[in-house]
Amino acid sequence: MKRKSKSMIDLNKVPKKRSVSVHWTEEEHRRFLKGLQALGSGKWAGIARDYVITRNATQVSTHAQKYFQHQAQNAQKQCTYSSIFDMPMPSISTSANTS
C-alpha cells in the first residue's frame, strides 16, 4: 500500500471558489425572449447556442425559471417596480438572426 507524502494535496479538500454572478443585460434578455418564442420552453441549450451566446444552458435555464416566476407574480398582483422581466415578447421573423 502506497503512503501519501505530506507534500501531496488532497484536491477534494481544497475549497472551490464561486464564480461572480453577472446580471443579464437588456440585450441578452431580448435574445432570450426571441429564443424562447422561436424554440419554446425547455430548449435551453438551443437558446444558449443560437440566441444568447454569452450564456450557457444552465444560466439560460435559471433565467427562464426566474422569468416565469416573475410573470406568475405579476399576474397575481400589480408590481410596484420595473424589472428586465417586464419586457414584452418581441415579434420574430422566420430566420434566427442573432446579430
For the chain, list the domains and their CATH numbers.
25-76 (1.10.10)
Alpha-carbon gap, residue 38 to 65, rounded angstroms? 18
Instruction: Report which of residues 76 and 37 the model is more confident about.
Output: 37
The whole-number pLDDT of residue 28 equals: 97
Average pLDDT in the 74-86 region?
Answer: 69
> b/e per residue, 55-85, with b = 16+ CB within 10 A?
beeebbbebbeebeeeeeeeeeeeeeeeebb
48's grid cell: 444558449
C-alpha to C-alpha distance for 2 and 5, rounded to whole angstroms: 9
Q: How confident is the model at residue 18 (pLDDT cuts 50, 70, 90)?
A: confident
What is the value of pTM for the model shown? 0.63
**Is pLDDT above 80 for 74?**
no
Closest by alpha carbon to 33, among 58, 25, 4? 25
